[in-house]
Amino acid sequence: MSFFGLDCTRKKEREEERKIRANDREYNLSFKYATNSIKTSKYNPFTFLPLNLFEQFQRIANAYFLFLLILQVIPAISSLSWFTTVVPLVLVLSVTAAKDAIDDINRHRSDRKVNNRKVNVLISGKLISEKWMNVQVGDIIKLENNQFVTADLLLLSSSEPLNLIYIETAELDGETNLKVKQALTVTGDMGDNLEALAAFNGEVCCEPPNNRLDRFMGTLTFDSQKYSLDNERVLLRGCTLRNTDWCFGLVLFAGPETKLMQNCGKSTFKRTSIDRLMNVLVLFIFGLLALMCIILAVGNWIWENHAGSKFKAFLPREENTVFSAFLTFWSYIIILNTVVPISLYVSMEVIRLGNSYYINWDRTMYHAQTDTPAEARTTTLNEDLGQIKYVFSDKTGTLTQNIMTFNKCSINGKSYGDVIDHYSGQSLEITEEMTPVDFSFNRLADPKFLFYDHSLVEGVKLELPDVHAFFRLLALCHTVMAEEKREGDLVYQAQSPDEGALVTAARNFGFVFRSRSPETVTIEEMGVQRSYELLAILDFNNVRKRMSVIVRNPEGKLSLYCKGADTIIYERLHPSCSEVMKVTTEHLNEFAGEGLRTLVLAYKDLDEEYFSEWKQRHHESSVGLEDREEKLEKLYEEIEKDMMLIGATAIEDKLQDGVAQTIELLARAEIKIWVLTGDKQETAENIGYSCNLLREEMNDVFIVAANSPEEVRQELRDARLKMCPDTEQDKFLIPEIILGNIPKVVQDENVNGEYGLVINGHSLAFALESNMELEFLRTACMCKTVICCRVTPLQKAQVVELVKKYKKAVTLAIGDGANDVNMIKAHIGVGISGQEGMQAVLSSDFSFAQFRFLQRLLLVHGRWSYLRMCKFLRYFFYKNFTFTFVHFWYAFFCGFSAQTVYDEGYITLYNLVYTALPVLGMSLFDQDVNAGWSLEYPQLYLPGQLSQYFSKHAFMMCALHSWYSSLVLFFVPYAATYDTARDDGKDGADYQSFALITQTCLTVTMCVQLGLDLSYWTVVNHLFVWGSLGMFFILTFAMYTDGLFQLRPSSFAFIGTAKNCLNQPNVWLTVVLTAILCVLPVVGYRFIYSQISPTINEKVRYKVCQMKEPAPRPRRTRLSRRSTRRSGYAFSHAHGYGDLVTSGRFLRRNALTSSMGLIPTGRSPGFKPTGWSAGYSPVGREQNPKQKVEPTSLQLFRAVKDSLF
């Protein structure tokens, strides 16, 4: 169940603040802090049976059947044997208990696995290997490279210079780029000195346990000094230590009190929309049952008063007719209880379990590269997958791979990156068969980097000044850290994958960034090592949208290098660049049309005297206390002007395979996709265009980025009025009465055209306030796509909850990190597994490795599951209502005596044997069209969103059909046997013969009706239908023999009835006539309706039959993107990182010294091409090689056009 364990229990007493003393277990134990042990299991061998039964009898249905069982053991009431209820009840309880036991055993195993992991703990001055479960708050532990962080720790010291460490937070946020943490100097000086660490007695006072991943507040008191602690000093459970030999940490929060575990929240029980509808219908059925029993009880009272005295000689009579009616009421409660059969719930669980296994077994949803199959982690929500209206998706790790690749560039007006056909002059689509650029001339080249335009490397070799200046800027203007533990083995650590991709590109083209110190940047230019003096870093922030460095080259020349968003850089260029700027703008538009992220590069030569004076002013402003930021910004503006344009870069934020095709298919299925991401607005917008969520063809894309509630409200209102000018302010809410409650539901509003909405986290905070949430929801739901950027995990959950609360729609949320856990508590939660974080998977209902598998999960498995469940419910209610209503009609002919029309054996076996397997076969194997056609026509998904297959209306139609069929099933056999004689002249109208004929008619009719409902006959369906029919006759003849009668006369009283009755031709004629009359209205209705107003399913099935073609094999298509929109600024690292570079706290040791010169080394033997260019992986991983996967969505055959629907 859990990778790190999931225990979401809360302390009974609210903790105001936490006090911890290092290396003092006795002191810390006095506060009764949680240990690091995880417990997710619910039962133990002693508590399992009572607790499980207690939970099961909290369900209304189980308690109802237990009540019936109690009634059946009262002789004065029951006319049925107790086993007719106890057998199915015990079966239900046993199956559910076995399932719960298996789940809990798995939780026990998971708990043991997590709790028994080992970590080194400092005890009495020695490092002792301890189990995770034995770690306590206040302990000092040692972590080594690639180890999971055991608990929430205060970083004390590390193996890296100035006590820095690198962590991967994939488990928390799904991002694989490394984060930097730094210990306090006072603790970092202890290093790995065990004596000093053992003597450390610092006291920490901090916030109590909470779920805020992005903040921490506390103080450390040591040697009479108090030091401030923030999130930069804390390592959270769920992180992984990377590229750091070792570190020591003090345990702050353990086990269930860690932020990771606090984020899992309270586990909520999810029910499908069909379950919620069933609750309403079951209450209606109970009311109907009570009404029928009251009618029959009144009938008994009337009959006893008028005719009962005539039967004194045959039946004992209750003199008190009112009491007789009272007993009759309860007797009929028992007899008519089959309107809510317990087998209904057993069958539903079996169907859901079977459809869950289909998901687990689906090979097309298996990701071979990471050996990750799709997994249905719950078996209770399958049919909701066929009714999804809103999909909420994270971006990083869900839509994208978080891998940036350097694809194209523009240098001095010339575009590079396309492969041109020498004969036609047209650019070719890049494939794996093409020969990439040979970088063997560069011994430091990254073998995973691929580039296919050979003209660029020729420009480097020819030493074209502009090309060299371009790559020199990329090698100098950044905040990347280099690590070289072995000669020539460079590993770049970048806070943003964008920067890593650009520096890697410069590295391969001969400008290799080797190392940095606070004062210098060392690069290798075409084999010659050069050290540049780093004079200033003008750092990036969200307002500047650019960064610059000022350096002095070895010859003493001063230069400013700048990169940033095109609109920002263009405003600061020298007028002489106008011609180059025009051409570069055309290239930028081309890059944007392909969904690439762009940066513009520029430089400026500086005068020595001017720079000295500027630097002095810069120093004065940086140490000032008043208006520091404003003064520095003016200085930056002053020096970053009249720059010379060098060119532009184009980076692909690699989408996962098939994302764009999947989104296109989901959009055609009328599923709205909302992206909720913590990324900045430009990045999120860019991804929206890349994956076709936002399109140039849209009528408008609204940007809401206001800074006050009034402005946000006005922008939302303006957007809504533009989409629908005639919209009314107050008529968008409709009340929906559910069990006495009247919740407000925001109705769908018709909009002409397609619109998109982008809103940032600051504006979203205002939009989610109670007085504005409906305005936001109303506007957002009118848009085809919504992108919320810079949102917190809490805001993600709030957005999902808002839609769940006010929209009568089923929602699905998909993510891959701990920051998505609260979000994926939508109606359906999907976790992305694989190389990213597993925390979302642990809290999800379904999981798989790639976003593209979502199309098959919804359009195939989800639609089939919903269709099958709806067919099952319609048929099940039909067969049981029909079965029960016959009892009702019979009561008028048996003196309301609570006598059953069927024998007890048939009543017991009807739902368990005779009709169980056929309906299960339909519910597990039926298909209207196969998987290929389901993906070919996503419009088939629409009826599920509208709940057309099963609703209150469908239920009432089913009840009416049952009412009609019950009349036919009772009165046709009644009329056929009334006052008749057998072939041998004996009377043929006895009770037992009538009961058998009615049973036979009912069983045959149910099989015929099921055959009409089946769309897809399989061998299993044939076996179940004909086998059940055969079983009915076999068991009927077996139970009506004299042998069983002699064993138990009271239970097998119908001796010889089958043999004497079923050999009469008129009986079989009655069976055939009854079956025809029962199904005739259904056949007629379906025929007429299909001619007048055919459903989309009927249209598609007709076209498929007409074409006589096999199902289309999905094929991968390359979606072309043509956009005039400028792509987002490809630069996402946090503000202030440059200060760390220049402050003397450099992140890595100096690179190894190496000899000059270029040594051809060639490709490594294991090298495999992976795409246009190798992706920069922030943790130094090899990029996933391309694989031959099953195509996902688009079609070979388009015989049926969308216009038909």
DSSP codes, 44-71: -TTTHHHHHHHHHTTSHHHHHHHHHHHH
Question: With 90 as the cut, is the pLDDT of residue 525 above it?
Answer: yes
With vertex at residue 888, the alpha carbon angle to CA 885 and CA 891, rounded to the nearest 5 degrees, is: 155
Nearest-angstrom CA–CA distance, 72 and 89 = 13
Tokens of 258: 């860690």
Helix (H) or strand (E) holding 460: helix 454-461
Cβ-contact 22, 136 below 8 angstroms: no
**Confidence (pLDDT) at 429:** 75
> pLDDT tier at 1160 (50, 70, 90 boundaries)?
very low
pLDDT at 93: 83
State the pLDDT at residue 1184.
36
Distance (Å, rounded) from C-alpha 1157 to C-alpha 54? Answer: 78
CA distance 825 to 811: 10
pLDDT for position 999:
92
DSSP bridge pairs for 414: 411
Of residues 137 and 72, more confidence is placed in 137
Q: Are the C-beta atoms of residues 81 and 65 closer than 8 Å to each other? A: no
Just list the catalytic residues: 394
Instruction: Identify whether the C-beta of residue 584 lies closer than 8 Å to the C-beta of residue 600.
Output: yes
Write out pLDDT tens, residues 852-888. 999 999 999 999 999 999 999 999 999 999 999 999 9
Amino acid identity, position 981: A
* Angstrom distance (rounded) from CA 192 to CA 183: 13
Helical ranges in 550-705 per DSSP H: 566-570, 578-593, 608-623, 628-639, 659-668, 681-690
CA distance linking residue 444 with residue 620, whole number of Å: 41
AA identity, residue 1127: S
Burial class (CB in 10 A: 0-12, 13-18, 19+), 53: middle
**CB-CB contact of 250 with 154 (8 Å):** yes
| pLDDT value at 92 more than 50 | yes
Instruction: For residue 21, list its beta bridge partners.
Output: 203
Beta partners for 491? 483
Q: Is 1162 helix (H, G, I), strand (E, B) or coil?
A: coil
What does the pLDDT average to over 772-789? Answer: 91
Name the burial class of residue 712, with classes exposed (0-12), middle (13-18) and buried (19+) by CB atoms within 10 angstroms of its CB. buried
Residue 818: the pLDDT is: 63
pLDDT of residue 863: 94
Inter-residue contact 548 to 614 (CB < 8 Å): no
Paired strand residues for 441:
none
Residue 429 dihedral angles phi and psi, to the nearest 5° = -75, 135
Three-state SS for 768-785 is CCCCCHHHHHHHHHCCCE
Q: What was the pLDDT predicted at 939? A: 92
Q: Which two tokens stand for residue 374?
A: 């799709």
pLDDT at 738 over 50: no
Tokens 């009938």 locate to 299
pLDDT at 207 over 50: yes
Among the residues of 462-607, which ranges form H helices?
A: 465-476, 497-508, 566-570, 578-593
Does 623 or 766 have the greater pLDDT score? Answer: 766
Q: Dump the DSSP string for 154-173.
A: EEEEESSGGGEEEEE-HHHH
Which of 57-66, 352-361, 401-410, 811-820 is predicted least confidently?
A: 57-66
Q: What is the DSSP letter of 393?
A: E
pLDDT digit string, tens, across residues 236-284: 988 889 878 899 999 999 988 888 887 665 556 677 888 888 878 888 8
Q: Give the bridge partners for 181, in sequence order.
A: 165
At 1193, is the pLDDT very low, low, confident or very high (cuts 50, 70, 90)? very low
Question: How is 324-338 classified by DSSP, letter by letter?
Answer: HHHHHHHHHHHHGGG
pTM of the predicted protein model: 0.75
Q: Is the pLDDT of residue 1181 over 50?
A: no
- Amino acid occupying residue 851: F
The residue type of 1132 is S
Q: Which residue has the tokens 């209770």?
A: 380
State residue 1190's pLDDT score.
37
Segment among 349-363, 900-914, 927-941 with least mean pLDDT: 900-914
Q: Is pLDDT at 1172 greater than 80 in this prediction?
A: no
| Rounded mean pLDDT, 614-619 | 88
Question: Of the candidates 976, 1031, 705, 877, which has an alpha carbon nearest to the alpha carbon of residue 348?
Answer: 877
pLDDT bin (cut points 50, 70, 90) of residue 310 is: low
Mean pLDDT lowest among 55-69, 445-459, 987-1001, 1143-1157: 1143-1157
With a pLDDT cut of 90, the percent of the chain lying above it is 35
**Using 50, 70 and 90 to split pLDDT, how confident is the model at 1162?**
very low
**CB-based contacts of 1033: which residues, under 8 Å, 6+ apart?**
none
The tens digit of pLDDT for each residue in 1034-1069 reads 988 888 877 666 676 666 667 777 777 888 888 899
For the stretch 680-725, pLDDT in tens is: 677 778 788 878 888 888 889 999 988 888 999 999 999 988 888 8
* Residue 674 pLDDT greater than 80, yes or no: yes
Mean pLDDT of the chain: 81
Query: Does residue 1203 surpass a pLDDT of 50?
Result: no
Phi, psi of 897 (to 5 degrees): -90, 5
Instruction: Name the helix (H) or strand (E) containing 964.
Output: helix 952-977
In angstroms, the CA 1023 to CA 853 distance is: 33
Q: What is the mean pLDDT of residues 536-562?
A: 88
At 453-508, the pLDDT tens digits run 889 999 999 999 999 999 999 999 988 888 777 777 888 877 677 888 999 999 99
Binned at pLDDT 50, 70 and 90, residue 956 comes out as: very high
Residue pLDDT, tens place only, 380-431:
888 999 999 999 998 766 787 767 889 999 999 999 988 877 676 667 777 7
Give the CA dihedral 927, 930, 936, 937, nearest 10 degrees.
-10
Write down the residue that tokens 């009540």 correspond to. 67
Tell me how far apart the alpha carbons of residues 305 and 424 are, in angstroms, rounded to a whole number. 103
pLDDT band at 597 (very low <50, low <70, confident <90, very high): confident
Arithmetic mean of pLDDT, 299-307: 83
* Confidence (pLDDT) at 1150: 40
Percent residues over pLDDT 70 in the chain: 82
Q: Which two tokens stand for residue 620?
A: 């004065």
Q: With bands split at pLDDT 50, 70 and 90, how would you rate the model's confidence at 1027?
A: very high
Q: pLDDT, tens digit, for every residue of 578-591?
A: 899 999 999 988 88
Q: Which pLDDT tens digit goes with each residue over 1095-1116?
A: 888 888 888 887 765 666 555 4
